[in-house]
Amino acid sequence: MITGIGGCSNSGKSALANELRNFFGNDKSVVLCQDDFVKYSGELPKIDGHTDWEQPSSIKIDEFINAVKENSSVFEYVFVEGLFAFWFDRLNALYDKKLFLELDKATFIKRKKNDYRWGKEPDWYIEHIWNSYLKYGRPPEDMTGVFKMTATLPVDIQTITKHIKSR
């Protein structure tokens, strides 16, 4: 069972994926984070001198897809999370389930301004991250079967796991 988890930066994708892994157990599940498949910084474009992580070309997509396929033969549940979780058709074709965390812009900005994992981001770059999410991070309009959640509300793990288990 391969589940794609998408949403903008700071929407809770990683936290949800890890909570699901804990629920299903480490022996039966694995989390694959898109961030672990980012190209080397020297290969990435720059925007106003700032490394631009916010576009699909920043991901080593072939390696990411291969990891999903390999792990699906080892684990019963594979959780694939990232901003571009629904951008690549070849990746979408692998999903059995799709989860999407919706977050409003004001909450995103507030959370992002308090996120210092990669240092303090300038306001113009935070706006760039939001615009990239709008362009690349949302499920396509014609995508069916997307289970949408509001990222400002507590996760109902029972409802989500019931959805994942349903065939």
* Span 61-77, pLDDT tens digits: 999 999 999 999 999 99
- As given in the structure block, the two tokens for residue 66 are 């291969």
The Cα 8–Cα 140 span in angstroms is 14
The Cα 7–Cα 103 span in angstroms is 8
pLDDT at 70: 98
Sign of CA dihedral 125, 136, 70, 11: positive
The answer to whether the predicted template modeling score (pTM) of the entire model surpasses 0.85 is yes
CB 165 within 8 A of CB 29: no
Architecture of domain 2-165: 3-Layer(aba) Sandwich (3.40)
- As given in the structure block, the two tokens for residue 150 are 């509001």
Residues 124-134 have pLDDT tens digits of 999 999 999 99
What is the residue extent of each domain of the chain? Answer: 2-165
* Residue that the structure tokens 């959640």 belong to: 149
